[in-house]
Structure 1
């Protein structure tokens, strides 16, 4: 099937100025980009709208959901054609059979739960093969998650790696990268990643650097000790040569605004030194993760079953509450920087606590007749830690400044369950509408580069991210005058306005010419050495 999009404003993903012209696609590949293009079996009149490459979501949490629903509409309808899974060091593979029950509980607050999957893929190769069998609407890349690698090598305990452990960690990671993973991810606030010291991270990053793959990192602190945290990460880059990609870059806690200039200074210094550093960002002043993240790291040691034992133990629970109220040096305390009135429950595992969804911890406490933190700990116990949250963390001026940085590209970091964060439905349109059209933080061509060509370069995604002959036909048609996000924190499940057409590998998935029941056109991508 051949398709020609004519009368378009072409923004090709390189950052170059828009030009009028046409784009032609045949058999899933772009054949022509220019003032004119040959006839095709189907012609789409762009009517002066922008035609650009499909957006690349460099921080996606579709890992489990896509196995049961190949067409994830919140992503497709906002223009996402490629997603990078395996984020925050916590994902689907590797997953040795002996760890399946514990890991499913650990994962459920972030990726959701499934009773239909058999969970027997064991390795990245097995997981990617399973995705190839089930199919996907978007293209899928995968990062090797540090937590899974550590679980296979060392279990879920809170301990430092010894020399033998380090060799095993490296061997497991090497196997996963050989299977085609696009990098190593970690979330140093999440167990078991949080138990790793710098020596462990350097051992793993030396393998990632050997393969030329990035470390994609939720760093130890985005709040009180962010400067020390960034210094650690940049030192790892110096010592190993690894490319560092900071996930969802931000400063948490309005009281940490005084650190802003020094954070920028660290990024500038890294560039001056020649370190390879990139960042991604979602365009909101609130984040989203597992409610279990409000608990100190020691509470999670050994996995979810051990956590539940501690939540049921009066002395352990008292210690958790004390640590939350008083803080622990180097630990990002979500309650401290967001407040109990700035943390909202977004999802629960069971209907029994469905009334908690959409409520702040203050409101939850009022409903349960308990102090907010006591009510939150009860909820985590009752739901076996499978609770999601939204937390309001920062300042609008910081978002704009980070967005304008040359290191930055756009992501969603969207969780898909319950009442999700609005970024799940609208991160990319929000940048185009609010920050490009309304606030003029950057030109449209620059923003689209940060959604397409730049992330493709950062993650070495071959022949995607540009409108160029020979490249795969991942294409978005949008109206720059109307594009905008529509979701709110209370009603997030609203698709955006102004994304008129989305094509993946030549198949139109959204728009007036979309097929009703297409075969999933996305591809599971593997990065070869």
Structure 2
């Protein structure tokens, strides 16, 4: 029994005082519960807030979950469920023939490890590997478009033939039957970027058959964002799929956000659900290799490295990054070297660059920043992470109050990470709900729990209701706040007092029970 609680149940219902009864991993009573000394465990909340466990709808713990029982930055901020398989570039399927190239392709995004297998035939294989780790958190996983394309077409940039489409549809169908939570793609990442719109339509029809969402990092988030939204509208119109936009943002002219919202409403008017997630920071984070034009990645990471090492090919790459108006998305130019930072590398002799912006890396190496970046990618075999500042507080707050939006971390876990890895959810509740009064605490809790669960189709958690799984966070609503900064990101948030996963305490003040082994793989069947 949890007693003396101020209950935020995740449904936006006004907070109320009461208790919660848990039997095994399930909530059996909420509200006015009988006092008794017969409970096996009694937790006195002391008037603090109790809410559902936070759900991270955009996680990059895909590799770390196979080597660690506890993802400390996540569980310490109250995240009890993570959704893996993001951006279309993840862990299954990975055919043996492409395993090493794929490992280097995603190393800057999801991390790297010598402790795991890099060959997974299916989502089920990956789920079983997670289960063997006996984690303390829950994990769902999307079926990644890039992996499916890899299994059928390798790193080809050619349009899929009808036969290849049938093979991709078959793999996706199997992964959804094995419990994948939806279909994800990242249309700036290799090999998703090579897909044509009709390829996405056909795959989304498979996702629609299972009522699973299409989770998309769209092709463009700056000058061509409205064209990108038109592509999503076409996909939704032709397939009927539920749409979830990853990390909603506008990186160009921020006044375009109002047209973006209008486009979202027009898609919803087609009769489908439209949702999105967001991290509450003015900088993003991804792999540095995403700055290299798509043509240079054709054939895989091995071919990319060959091109970076060839002086003529490198000049073509540099020209495309800085000059070519036909690029889908410009992510680097001379005006934002100072706003683009190296966040992670693998090799010890390159650690000195972590936390430095590209101007500084250029000065340290005596090279132009763009050449310094390409040399670093070449030396690190593409396994470089970055942080890039691109937006304003005003813009992210406008995103935040949109009814479609829930919170996520989108956190890369290596090196000197983005502070969102450690602070997203406490920052949202403490800074934006409490201090800025942008919304009520009830609304903020909803956007971190039930709203997120509904977007991902997680029906057994996300609210404090009878029959739901007992994922809970006890926090102090007066003190909850993030502490992590860009300068010192590896700091745990304040105000999180206790975290329970499936009825078992994992966090108690500053103590973490790493052997709790109470997490589960969530298969949507």
TM tier, smaller: over 0.9
The match for 2:444 is: 447
Identify the match of residue 311 of structure 1 among 308, 331, 346. 308
CA displacement 1:224-256 (0-9 Å, x = unmatched)? 100000110111001100011000000013xx1
Q: What is the distance in 2 between the residues matched to 1:383 and 1:224?
A: 31
Q: CA deviation at 1:123?
A: 1.2
The match for 2:240 is: 241
Indicate whether 1:44 and 2:43 are aligned.
yes
The match for 1:102 is: 101
The match for 1:143 is: 142
CA displacement 1:193-244 (0-9 Å, x = unmatched)? 0000001111111111111111100000011100000110111001100011
RMSD: 1.4
The match for 1:54 is: 53
Contact 1:252/1:337 (CA < 8 Å) preserved in 2?
no
The match for 2:64 is: 65
The match for 2:262 is: 265
Residues 317 and 337 (structure 1), Cα distance of their counterparts in 2 relative to 1, 3 Å cut: closer
The match for 2:216 is: 217
The match for 1:464 is: 461
285-294 or 40-49: bigger deviation: 40-49
Q: What is the distance in 2 between the residues matched to 1:330 and 1:48?
A: 55
Q: What is the distance in 2 between the residues matched to 1:267 and 1:204?
A: 21
Q: What is the distance in 2 between the residues matched to 1:209 and 1:26?
A: 35
The match for 1:489 is: 486
38-47 or 244-253: bigger deviation: 38-47
Contact 1:249/1:279 (CA < 8 Å) preserved in 2?
yes
Stretches (4+) displaced over 6 A: none
Task: Show the 5 A alignment for 1:125-164.
Answer: 125-164=124-163
Q: CA deviation at 1:500?
A: 0.8
Residues 487 and 515 (structure 1), Cα distance of their counterparts in 2 relative to 1, 3 Å cut: closer
Three-state SS of the structure 2 residue aligned to 1:81 is: strand
Contact 2:104/2:301 (CA < 8 Å) preserved in 1?
yes
Three-state SS of the structure 2 residue aligned to 1:477 is: strand
Three-state SS of the structure 2 residue aligned to 1:316 is: helix
Q: What is the distance in 1 between the residues matched to 2:289 and 2:66?
A: 25
Contact 1:149/1:169 (CA < 8 Å) preserved in 2?
yes
Contact 1:5/1:46 (CA < 8 Å) preserved in 2?
yes
The match for 2:20 is: 23
Q: CA deviation at 1:485?
A: 0.5
Q: What is the distance in 2 between the residues matched to 1:513 and 1:252?
A: 37
Contact 2:426/2:481 (CA < 8 Å) preserved in 1?
yes
Residues 165 and 444 (structure 1), Cα distance of their counterparts in 2 relative to 1, 3 Å cut: same
Three-state SS of the structure 1 residue aligned to 2:378 is: helix
Residues 515 and 491 (structure 1), Cα distance of their counterparts in 2 relative to 1, 3 Å cut: closer
Alignment gaps of 5+ in structure 1: none
Residues 476 and 37 (structure 1), Cα distance of their counterparts in 2 relative to 1, 3 Å cut: farther
Q: What is the distance in 2 between the residues matched to 1:205 and 1:395?
A: 33
Residues 512 and 348 (structure 1), Cα distance of their counterparts in 2 relative to 1, 3 Å cut: closer
Three-state SS of the structure 2 residue aligned to 1:345 is: strand
Q: What is the distance in 2 between the residues matched to 1:51 and 1:36?
A: 15
Q: CA deviation at 1:24?
A: 1.7
Indicate whether 1:526 and 2:514 are aligned.
no
Alignment gaps of 5+ in structure 2: none
Q: TM-score, structure 2 length as denominator? A: 0.97
Q: What is the distance in 2 between the residues matched to 1:439 and 1:403?
A: 12
511-520 or 425-434: bigger deviation: 511-520
CA displacement 1:335-386 (0-9 Å, x = unmatched)? 1497111000000011111100000000000000011101000000000000
Q: TM-score, structure 1 length as denominator? A: 0.97
Q: What is the distance in 2 between the residues matched to 1:427 and 1:433?
A: 10
CA displacement 1:20-46 (0-9 Å, x = unmatched)? 111121212112111234432222221
Three-state SS of the structure 2 residue aligned to 1:31 is: strand
Residues 337 and 445 (structure 1), Cα distance of their counterparts in 2 relative to 1, 3 Å cut: farther
Indicate whether 1:7 and 2:4 are aligned.
yes
438-447 or 116-125: bigger deviation: 116-125
Residues 319 and 164 (structure 1), Cα distance of their counterparts in 2 relative to 1, 3 Å cut: same
